[in-house]
Structure 1
Amino acid sequence: MATKPLTVSRVPTIYSLAQLEETATFPPPSPFPPPSPFPSPPKGVISTPDRAVAELAGSLLPAFHYTDVDALDGGRVRSFGSFDSLTAALGPAGGEEATGASPPSSEAASDEDAAMTEPMVVPQRSVLSMLLLAEWEDRAERGLFRYDVTACPTRVLPGHLGFVAQCNEGRASKKRPTEFRVDQVTQAFDPAKFNFTKAAQKEYGHVLLVPDALSRRAQAVDTASLLLALQFAREADTPYLRLGFNSLGAYGTINHLHFQAYFLYAPLAAERAPAAELLRAGGALAGVSVASLEGYPVAGLVFQAGGSLADLARCVGAACEALAAAGVPHNLLIADCGVRVFLFPNAFAERKARGEIPEDVVESQVDPACWEIAGHIVMKRQQDYDTASQESAWHLLSCASYDPANFARVTEISINAAKEAMRGRKLATAFRY
């Protein structure tokens, strides 16, 4: 099959593997570079690391192109079972060291375990995954991080859920302070407070997906922004990359629409937890199924795509918009290359304001947001990390969970909103003809 050559022009361009698979006849390369389709920026408006993101308008920026085909391969639907080779190499959850930098080696298993399991195969990285990891390493080498996450001790806690505990004592003292009210889910964007247009372009302390940095949208999910996040996860093409979202009131600390993402080479506890089906794919939500987590400290819904990321985005996006309108703080976890989305209503801040959180949990200074609720808990004190267990993790996270009656209300709001969104989709399709 012919392979499309990569060329460098005035605008650095990164191509996805999907483009390399296109069949076409290509002319011989020209000795002269092709003219750039992008106009030259105004004088003095060139993207530079020390300038603020607000100065990006008119700059020459790298572009990442990806396939926009929405249909999913039926075999792509994954669950926590896709980590079988990893967990076999590690052994049962309990006491193992975990890392966010590189996959654990199967050599860590004993000779007896190795004889009983097949060698772990590390999947090849996609272009996007390699780009993210390379950019991360570049920022780390330049000393731009506020703390070195690779130096933070990390381990998988004993127990069937396999919570990942990490100790980062600088997390509380070096984190950028929150500049808005924490008890309201919907708040207007305030350009006077910190937002991503004020961040220096060199900043990369977290992998942030900002759907439109210059539009200055408040921190609230809709269908379009969620679809972009799902496509990002799909293009990364690895179950080790997850995306998360924290609404205001659920420990979103910057009121500017963004998702967080990072690599963790271990299953998250929420991915291990069983779920009871509420709506089967093929009904009111077309190819999207909905389930409720069982045997987990935080009540949550699991939306899973069957054949369309767009339909998944419609359902979850509509649910989030309805919850925001109802004043329900919530967190999202996007897993399995964008195929599954976990939705957690979060009651922790409200309970904390009412003085209902146990004193030992308050003293830990851990406020559960999307990553903690999903199962990666960052401890801010050494003693909490040293004594961490599945029981203590459960005790902490259960403080964020809605009680059964209120969770039933959240479930009804979410599913009704999703159904309404899918009815609108079918109506729009009918009108198209």
Structure 2
Amino acid sequence: MVSATKVEGEYSFLSKNSHLDQSEGVKTHLYHFGAEHGNDDLKSTACPEQGPSLLDTILLSQWDNFAWKGHLDYDVTACQLKVIEGGINFVGQLNNKWNSFSLKEYDKLFESFRCSKPNSMKSYEGLLLCVAQGENDRPEVAPSASPPKDGLLLIANAYPVEYGHIFLVPAAVNQLSCYWDKRMFGLATKIASEVNNAAFRVFFDSRTHVVSDHMFFQACYFPNPLPVECASTVVVYEYGGNARSDIIVSETVGYPLKAIVFTSNNLKALVNVVSEICFSLHDNTTAYSLLISNNGTKVFLFPQVKNLVIGCSLSTWECGGYFIYHTKFEFDNASETEISKRMASVSLQDSAFEDLKHLCCAIAHDLVK
């Protein structure tokens, strides 16, 4: 467990009688972001030379403690990995225990504070901390507090895809009825920035939302860049009239799954543009996945069509080039050709992708001024 008393000077800790939107029965670490004061730029409170950020330290310490107590179904760090031969360098993981259906309906464990939780969270131990926006200049941490309704719960996944795998779940039931909550997306993006660790990525899969009828994100730590992050890109739109409102829209080149990449150091601009596009995709019943990387400054959008052969779209980590195999035979025989064909089978047709690019550019032009 992280001891709040070990952090000195730069961070303050809320007193137990601090005003919160209280919910009964549940206590956890509460991390409040520092106030923005009108500055939307994505900047972490930690510098690389100063070591890990406070949020990164708390998150990993809590997750390691959850694993040490035996709540994980397996040690994902012991799973065999390999880079699949070819120019794209897809990554394969051999894991016969991974459960792709670990995200199901939310049970009664969190009904005491009107929240849901994935069935792969076996106990309160899985609730690592809650993150919410704060009002003071610096981040604040309360070692034992009731989660506010406007926060995101960080919950350990007992079936991790990679080290530190968590769910990011809205803390109030009124946020679970929405298809897309722009403020929640903004919090998830800010978490990626505040963690300030290049290995940390956040995911969203629209197809999973349809299955569970709840909006949530996932995140974990990948030790190396994902193949899509190394893919070449070409800029299709760039707005730089204002240093604090710049955004770049690009598309991947030479990658078997068509993807659009949004890059900006401005949180508000990035969240507004991507959210508006997600609303449009939902209205058009287009499945998609999002990958938030590069400390929250880059968002990959993977639009997909349903493949009648495989029966569903790809998960975000598969879109990024990271695949899990349940048998040694599948793992040993994984090939770039097979993966590329699978990706291409769910990729948009050229005409539909061109239409989406034009839509993205139009939305960026209208919203980022």
Deviation for aligned residue 1:158: 2.8
3-state SS of 1:20 partner: coil
1:126 aligned residue (39, 42, 53): 53
Q: Distance in 2 between matches of 1:73 and 1:270?
A: 22
Residues 252 and 14 of structure 1: is their aligned pair in 2 closer, same or farther, counting only changes over 3 Å?
farther
Aligned residues: 313
Aligned to 1:297: 256
Question: What CA distance in whole angstroms lies between the structure 1 residues aligned with 2:343 and 2:329?
Answer: 18
Secondary structure of the corresponding residue to residue 226 of structure 1: helix
Is it true that 1:65 corresponds to 2:11 in the alignment? Answer: no
Residues 13, 62 of structure 1: 8 Å contact kept: no
TM-score, with length taken from structure 2? 0.74
Note the C-alpha offset of 1:261.
0.4
Structure 2 contact 209–216 (Cα < 8 Å) conserved: no
Aligned to 1:46: 25
| Kept in 2: contact 1:219–1:258 (CA 8 A) | no
Task: Say which SS state the counterpart of residue 353 (structure 2) adopts.
Answer: helix
Displacement, 1:414? 3.2
Residue 412, structure 1, aligned to residue 369, structure 2: no
- Show the 5 A alignment for 1:172-191: 172=99, 175-176=101-102
Greater Cα offset, 65-74 or 143-152? 65-74
Q: TM-score, normalised by structure 1?
A: 0.64
1:267 partner amino acid: P
Residues 175 and 123 (structure 1 numbering): CA distance in 2 closer, same or farther, change over 3 Å? farther
Deviation for aligned residue 1:148: 2.8
Aligned to 1:20: 10
Q: CA deviation at 1:67?
A: 2.7
Question: Do the aligned residues in 2 keep the contact of 1:278 with 1:290 (CA within 8 Å)?
Answer: yes
Taking only aligned residues, the RMSD between alpha carbons, in angstroms, comes to 3.5
Matches of residues 58-137 of structure 1 in structure 2 within 5 Å?
Answer: 60-69=27-36, 70-72=39-41, 124-137=51-64
Q: Is this contact kept in 2: 1:196–1:256, CA < 8 A?
A: no
Identical counterparts, % of pairs: 24
Supply the distance in 1 between the matched residues of 2:235 and 2:42 (Cα, whole angstroms).
22
Distance 2:63 2:182 in 1: 29
**TM superposition shift of 1:134:** 1.3
Can you give the 5+ residue segments of structure 1 that lack an aligned partner in the other structure?
A: 1-7, 23-32, 48-59, 77-120, 180-193, 427-433
* The one of 378, 383, 387 aligned to 2:333: 387
2:83 corresponds to: 156
Distance 1:41 1:288 in 2: 38
Deviation, structure 1 residue 166: 0.6
More strand by share: 2
Aligned to 1:196: 117
Instruction: State how far apart, in whole Å, the 2-side matches of 1:14 and 1:61 are.
Output: 18
- Determine if the alignment matches structure 1 residue 375 to structure 2 residue 321: yes
Unmatched 5+ stretches in structure 2: 106-114, 127-155, 158-164
Which AA in structure 1 matches 2:125? Answer: K
Cα distance in 1 for residues equivalent to 2:6 and 2:267: 23
Name the larger-Rg structure: 1
Indicate the SS of the match to 2:258: coil
Q: In the alignment, is the contact (CA less than 8 A) between 1:366 and 1:379 conserved in 2?
A: no
**How much has 1:73 moved relative to structure 2?**
7.4
| Counterpart residue identity of residue 191, structure 2 | F
- How far is 1:164 from its partner? 1.4
- RCO higher in structure (CA 8 A, sep ≥6): 2
